Chain A
């Protein structure tokens, strides 16, 4: 092997430098680029040989010449890398112009189910009332005459009982609750005032089933007991509740009515949100839709649970879940809620916005 001298190294260096300088990598295909790279830095590449032969020179010479060789190497690497980037971009361009995918075909969504529209309605009411400070309360569906009637100021022979067609169980001294107001009594019996509760749940009426009557439906009961609670609190609470439930533009109307367990009693109407007032079939051409019953807790109810009506006062309200759901969803036939046709059940996804 020939002795490497500074001069011979420098001549070889110039040769490699010239070869690099004159080379045009910009048109090389991928495989040509690879052989170009190998020509210089492959095992027998000219630049490889140049770098290897550095070790035969003196330390001083290496110190001067080494960086020059490195510089050449960097130039080469950069030329190769730049062409590689170019080639990748060209390949992407070809791929991106035609993927062969018909993106207009129908999507496939993961299977999911729906909550029943009544559950959705109930959940929303519950959320609103929870924000207003109401706690959940609960009671059995089969209950005694005491909880369903007597403690609620329906004396045994009172014709007001005619307002509730009741189911009785055979051989069991229980009835199926006709309203969620039973829970008022149960809650007041089990806790001392003040209290603020809500209770959604099923109730039962002995009726012929048709588009607007069901043997079973859902109500939500609310009860507030504290010192100094008045009819005005009832008005404010229910107006707020109905606005949150039906929209901020909701107008309410309170008119006298009768429920044995409240005095004064009221029925609450909202301005028909379908026609806005002039009258339509949904509001029976009155412009108003009856939506809930309420009133100031009757002193006899307080007496039944051992609260002193001179100290405590309160109000109670009951709202029909089906009624609200029907109005909000535009459902005209109550039976649809209990038929469980999937074409019905799957319609009522809560909107994202």
Chain B
């Protein structure tokens, strides 16, 4: 809300300069987002007369003038095309300071000395035309300080929180400052005549929506330009002047916070006002020119036949005040905030009026606002006024709040003396004292005050939050403990970072286009009702879409390799239910290491991704690698595997589906990806590694080079090795895979290393040889494997 410092001072005699106001308002809870000084931003500029003008000897576009500032004559070089002898001008003397700190000094311009400057509007920071110098009224006396003649003000943009509608006006903020500085608020008495003659009858048939409606009928008012004071005032806060009637209502809105509406009374049919709910099918063309459909939830002002205004929001076009208007019905009302709120939400229509009504206006100020506006209209447009009609069905007594200083101090944790507390409260409402108890009836404009907590805040504001001590709550209640979910997520992130992946964060939203690109069906994908754009319309069903976007972005920007992971939520809709769950996903693309002088790095492949996942999940009991369950359309069906725990499937790791890689233009090298559900991990009991003793006796290794069919998987082979139940076999490892020269077509050569050992003694060669023989026999029996010589 825009506030003028000068206007504010009409309500309260502020002792502090405008520059300090922001600071004080901030302490009261109002942020000032902008502070603009208007008026003269210069010194040393006087009114002066151009005595003569001659052409500059060395420049076509310059002239040399003699300027009389009332005390002395000066030679001035001027570049303005419009300067003429005889003009009265604004003259910056030597030593003058113009806006922006620009100082006027003696200067030589093309060989001619210039002893000052004839100013343009722009040079003085006054805006407007700057094609030439500012030419003043010839009657202006010369030698006067030009700054003195200019209106000067400070305009503040103040942010008013929704709980303080009473501060949405100059008087409201003045009242707040008056309370803070214990100043008295000036009374601006209304002088509207009591009036004579009847106003239109008013019928409030929807009292739930309208707590008070006051109207006066003004006759013979001339609608025309506003008086200058009114125009200036509205202009100071950036409001356009329309006519004396509309400006009067607008002025009262910004002065008192009470919205008013002026109807052309002759256009109201049947000479009556009805405040009622709209009927189905009714419409109204409002002042903005739009035809609105009115629903039954909507409160309207009607005449005998039809709606003439959307109550509290906007008047109708047909009944608005125009130059031809002779009779005016002036409305001043209190509408129920929730009702107006519903209207603005439903119609998507807002106004300065609705902004105040939906937050709550001061019901008790309805009459004063009406009187003051009437006075301005009569004063500027002539005419006479009827008596007032004032329907007040919603009049209610506000309950008093009873507190003690001790209670308020307990909420604040402060030790303010009882007298200070009492006087702080007294600053905005009279306090009745009954022993320790302080009884206070909130003023009509303070709808936000109802409880001891509300009063505690008032005391805190009045006495200063910085006068409340700081302390720490005593006794930690319980030792802090991480919930499994966050703990697991953070550990996952740390492990993956340690494994060389960097953490990415993407929005939870994806587009239909990207899902199609990934081959993910739309079924079960939740959708936003009000997305900001099509790009962010769906709730992501997979983290990999975001990672693909990030990978493509990095590849396009010249990254040699991309290794990213993300931990976040994915969503799935079933009927009108939404399931959200934590997942982790990773994407690997490019060389296994940055290029280095010691040698080129190989490209990443499936086993890097598998290794990453295996290491991420290391230590989980019962972890199992299974054949790919083909649930993710993003992965290559024949180059992927699925990881599972006894509690359920976690997800899959694999080569990216070639079509997907193509769609994201990640084709230079293989793209590897994984996505795992983290939710099952949150259910696992926390465990920590326990010490497993190792044998003090050296173990024995035996390497076997085997020739066997290509169809035999390593999983089957290692399973067979174990199944052979060779004595003291401790482990098996794959050392080498070879197919090529020397290996027959359809065969492969695998070299495996067997580890043998005992905890109680060293093994003998003969024992190991027997065990190896057993293993080889079993491999031969099951897979037709032969030892290569």
Contact = CB atoms under 8 A, between A and B. Distances in A.
Interface of A: 105-106, 108, 110-116, 118-119, 123, 126, 129-138, 140-142, 155-160, 162-163, 167-174, 176, 194-196, 200, 202, 204, 206-209, 215-216, 224, 226, 228-237, 239-240, 253-258, 260, 263-266, 296, 298-299, 313, 337-343, 345-346
A232 B413 contact: yes
Given A231-B460, A258-B164, A263-B451, A170 B527 contact: yes
A196 B460 contact: no
Contact of B597 (A105, A114, A229, A253): A105
B603 interface: no
B468 interface: yes
Contact of A172 (B164, B476, B480, B577): B577
Contact of B508 (A141, A158, A163): A141
Contacts of B529: 167-170
A158 B341 CA distance: 8
Interface string B565-582: 100110101001110100
B539 A169 contact: yes
Contacts, number: 269
A342 B486 contact: no
Interface in B533-567: 536, 539, 546, 550, 553-554, 557, 559, 562-565
A157 B506 contact: no
Contacts of B580: 140-142
Contact of B506 (A173, A209, A257, A340): A340
B596 interface: yes
Interface in B367-394: none
23 contacts: A108-B593, A111-B593, A112-B497, A112-B500, A135-B483, A136-B482, A157-B342, A163-B162, A172-B578, A200-B486, A206-B532, A209-B532, A215-B507, A215-B509, A230-B413, A231-B414, A231-B465, A236-B472, A254-B466, A256-B27, A296-B411, A340-B504, A343-B557
Interface of B: 26-29, 161-164, 337-338, 341-342, 358-359, 410-414, 451, 453-454, 456-457, 460-461, 465-466, 468-473, 476-483, 485-487, 490, 493-494, 496-509, 526-532, 536, 539, 546, 550, 553-554, 557, 559, 562-565, 568-569, 571, 573, 576-578, 580, 592-594, 596-598
B679 to A, nearest CB: 12
B359 A159 contact: yes
Contact of B480 (A110, A135, A207, A263): A135
A168 B528 contact: yes
Nearest to B593: A111
B453 A298 contact: yes
A112 B526 CA distance: 36
A131 to B, nearest CB: 8
A114 B580 CA distance: 26
Contacts of A206: 530, 532
Contacts of B478: 133, 135, 196
Contact of B501 (A113, A196, A202): A113
A108 B162 contact: no
Q: Which of B478, B479, B496, B553 has the most CB of A within 10 A?
A: B478
B164 A142 contact: no
Contact of A263 (B26, B456, B503, B578): B456
A299 B453 contact: yes
A170 B338 contact: no
Which 9 A-B residue pairings sit nearest by Cβ, starting from the closest?
Answer: A232-B413, A230-B413, A256-B29, A133-B476, A264-B457, A157-B338, A258-B161, A340-B550, A236-B470
Contact of B573 (A137, A157, A172): A172
Given A157-B342, A345-B502, A115 B493 contact: yes
Given A114-B497, A263-B457, 14 more contacts: A106-B596, A136-B480, A169-B527, A176-B528, A235-B470, A256-B461, A258-B161, A263-B454, A264-B453, A313-B411, A338-B505, A340-B506, A340-B554, A341-B553
A136 B481 contact: yes
B508 to A, nearest CB: 6
Nearest to B27: A255
Contacts of A142: 526, 539, 571, 578, 580
Contact of A226 (B359, B473, B506, B528): B473
A113 B473 contact: no
Given A196-B477, A237-B472, A232 B414 contact: yes
A258 B526 contact: no
B471 A169 contact: no
A141 B581 CA distance: 10
A340 B530 contact: no
Given A115-B493, A258-B161, A340-B554, A216 B508 contact: yes
A91 B528 CA distance: 78
Q: Is the interface of A mostly helix, strand, loop or mixed?
A: mixed
A345 B341 CA distance: 44
Contacts of A108: 593, 596, 598
A8 B482 CA distance: 91
Given A172-B576, A258-B162, A113 B563 contact: yes
Tell which of A111, A123, A131, A231 has the most Cβ of chain B within 10 Å: A231
Contacts of B576: 171-173
Contacts of B530: 167-168, 206
A14 to B, nearest CB: 51
A342 B555 CA distance: 10
A108 B593 CA distance: 10
Most-contacted residue by chain A among B457, B504, B531, B554 (CB, 10 A): B457
Given A136-B481, A174-B578, A296 B476 contact: no
A232 B507 contact: no
A148 to B, nearest CB: 14
A230 B411 contact: yes
A256 B338 contact: no
Nearest to A114: B502
A346 B502 contact: yes
A307 B616 CA distance: 43
B456 A345 contact: no
A229 B594 CA distance: 55
Contacts of A239: 470
Contacts of B27: 255-256
Nearest to A201: B486
Contacts of B553: 339-341
Nearest to B554: A342
Given A237-B473, A340-B554, A345-B504, A228 B465 contact: no
B110 to A, nearest CB: 40
Contact of A337 (B485, B493, B505): B505
Given A157-B342, A158-B162, A167-B530, A299 B506 contact: no
A90 B338 CA distance: 97
A108 B471 CA distance: 51
Contact of A133 (B480, B496, B509): B480
Contacts of A313: 411
Nearest to B528: A167
A263 B505 CA distance: 35
Contacts of A137: 483
Contacts of A342: 502, 554, 559, 562, 564
A114 B505 CA distance: 12
B616 to A, nearest CB: 12
Contacts of A115: 493-494, 497, 503
Nearest to B456: A264
Nearest to B490: A123
A340 B503 CA distance: 8
The residue among B504, B531, B546, B562 with the most chain A CB atoms within 10 A of its own CB is B504
Contact of B337 (A157, A171, A202): A157
B523 to A, nearest CB: 13
Contacts of B358: 157, 159
Contacts of B573: 171-172
B476 A341 contact: no
A78 B59 CA distance: 108
B470 A226 contact: no
B338 A257 contact: no
